[in-house]
Amino acid sequence: MLRSSVISMVTIADLSKHPVDGFSAGLVDDSNIFEWSVTIIGPPDTYYDGGFYNALMTFPSDYPNNPPSVKFISEMWHPNVYPDGKVCVSILHAPGDDPNGYELASERWMPVHTVESIVVSIISMLSCPNDESPANVDAAIEWRDKKDAFKKRVGRIVRRSQEML
C-alpha cells in the first residue's frame, strides 16, 4: 500500500508540474489517494468536441500491478462505454492473456501505464470508437448504422455538459 501511495502522489505532482492538454485530474478527497476525479475535454474534430466529461478513476490497492477502473459520471453515449458509465478500453483490462482471445496481452494493462497514458487512451477512444467489441451495443449499432442520430444524441450531451459549467 505504501508503494501505491508514493506512486499516486508522484503522479499527481507530475501532472501538476506538466499538465497535459485535454484533461485534468486530482484527488476526490485528500484522505483517499485511490479515488481521483478526472475531467476530459472532448477531442477537437470529433462528435465530442467542446464537451466536458467528468469521470472517477479508482485505483485498486495492488496498483500498479492491476489497472484502475474509470467510470464517467457525466452522461456519455459511446460504443466503448457501458450504460453505467464504465469505460472499456484494452489498457484497463487485467494484465495477461485475454480469456476471450480478442486482445493481445501487450494491449492490456501493464504497470508502466500512467494516469496520462490511460486518459490519452480514453481520448483516443472518443475519437475512434471500436464498434466491433462494444460495451454499449445500442450505441455501437447507432454509431455504425445511424450516424446522423448518433451525432445528434452526442451533440445534446455536449451541450448539456457545457451548461453544467
* Spatial strand order in the sheet of 23-29: 23-29, 32-41, 52-58, 69-72
Q: What is the DSSP letter of 107?
A: G
Please tell me the distance from the alpha carbon of residue 77 to that of residue 139, in angstroms, as a whole number: 6
128 is catalytic: no
Active-site hit among 38, 88, 125, 154: 88
3-state secondary structure 19-87: CCCCEEEEEEECCEEEEEEEEEECCCCCCCCCCEEEEEEECCCCCCCCCCEEEECCCCCCCCECCCCEE
Q: Which grid cell is 97?
A: 492473456
| Catalytically active residues, by annotation | 88
